[in-house]
Amino acid sequence: MFSYKCFYKMPYILSFLFLIFSANQSFSKSLDITSIAKQVVIYDHQADQILFEKNSDDIMKPASMAKVMTSYIVFDKIKDGVLKFNDTFNVSKKAWKMGGSRSFLELNSDVSVSDLLMGLIVQSGNDAAVVIAEGISGDEEAFAREMNRYSKLLGMNNTYFTNSTGWPHPELKTTTNDLMILTKNLIENFPKLYSLFKEKTFTYNNIKQSNRNPLLYSLSGADGVKTGHTNESGYGLIGSVLRDNRRVTIIINGINSKKERTFESKRLLNIIFRETVLLSLFDRKNSLAKSNVWLGKLPVIDLVAKKSFKEIVSPFEFNKTKIKLRWNNPIPAPITKGDKVGEIFIEIPGRKTIVEDLVSLVSVEKLSPFLRAKPILKFLLYGDLVNE
């Protein structure tokens, strides 16, 4: 005997079974986006899905976005206990003389790892980056080799670092896809340390400087990550936004001006959050249905999804999505927790029906031969399977 349960339109699900199903804003496969940037990639962390890309495997220069890898290495060493925030590194003449953006570190001074990180992340200090590189590896060339070892481990196969800052160099290279791999791992592996990227100001040596990331000041939920610019690379940005438990990260490069970089990154992120939805189902392992048990020590069990489900859809698709359940009722004992007992059908308009496993929430032992006699006799006499 099949049991069949249908949850119709998603708004009905949300209002009637709120604890089971939840939705957050996200992406649609039918979304048509264009961009003035030379390279773009937009990624949804919850769905683990690329939402949009343009030339994302093209070789490009990272400029100061290379400092995200420098930060990553420091974070990793702090996590492993190799470094502490109150450790100090000495400011060499090379670091002190660095041009470009600076933290205004004093020559031969000892600076804490904490201050160097803030100078690196908030002020984008080239001097801070070099001090970190020399303090960790002895010299910047050795630190660049360390950066490339990390790149290889993370799967950044089209990246080659030559320094800790992103300073122009003929062999320096990356792609937006590789920078997305780096950013994803930075956020996921170091969630507490990542919060440093949302700091808007940092004062060192009585000089107050503001974070160069324009999204922090103008886009709701923005909490990182890094800007970059050289004449060769153009203007680039790694931006990440967390809204309603949904994170979307954008990496753009090859834009002609700061103003265009700010406008374009905000425009693309606003489109994503406005026009897309993350269909997020079965996260909380709530009961989807109850089933009778045949000849088991429990008469009824709860049925749940084997795993959570996340898919990027449009608002229209979200509103029209249907969920159907099918299983054999009753389910014969013995039953082991997690056993597949049926199927879940997720019907998204215009797409092939998605089938997921429906499983038992608990284990049920089989009744002893003596106790099985009564329900078997009842079935033979009356056709009743179980007491309901």
Query: Residue 48: is its pLDDT beyond 80?
Result: yes
| pLDDT tens-digit readout, 29-45 | 456 889 999 999 999 99
Q: 32, 20 in Cβ contact below 8 A?
A: no
Query: Residue 210: is its pLDDT beyond 60?
Result: yes
pLDDT for the residue numbered 34: 94
Mean pLDDT of the chain: 90
| pLDDT tens-digit readout, 290-318 | 999 999 999 999 999 999 999 999 999 99
Q: What residue spans of the chain are helical by DSSP H?
A: 10-16, 67-79, 93-96, 113-121, 126-137, 140-154, 176-189, 191-194, 215-218, 258-275, 315-320, 369-382
Percent of the chain with pLDDT over 90: 84
Helices vs strands, H then E, count in the chain: 12, 19
pLDDT for the residue numbered 3: 66
The three-state secondary structure class of 222 is strand
Question: How many angstroms from the chain centroid is the CA of residue 305?
Answer: 23
Query: Residue 53: is its pLDDT beyond 50?
Result: yes
pLDDT for the residue numbered 9: 43
Domains and CATH numbers, the chain: 2-23+281-382 (2.60.410.10), 32-275 (3.40.710.10)
Q: Are strands 331-332 and 289-294 parallel, antiparallel or unpaired?
A: parallel
Band the pLDDT of 1: cuts 50, 70, 90. Answer: low
pLDDT for the residue numbered 28: 39
Least confident stretch, 127-136, 289-298, 377-386: 377-386
List, edge to edge, every strand of the sheet that includes 354-360.
2-7, 322-328, 340-347, 354-360, 300-305, 289-294, 331-332
Residues 61 and 92: their CA atoms lie apart, in Å, by 26
Say what the pTM is.
0.85
| pLDDT tens-digit readout, 309-354 | 999 999 999 999 999 999 999 999 999 999 999 999 999 999 999 9
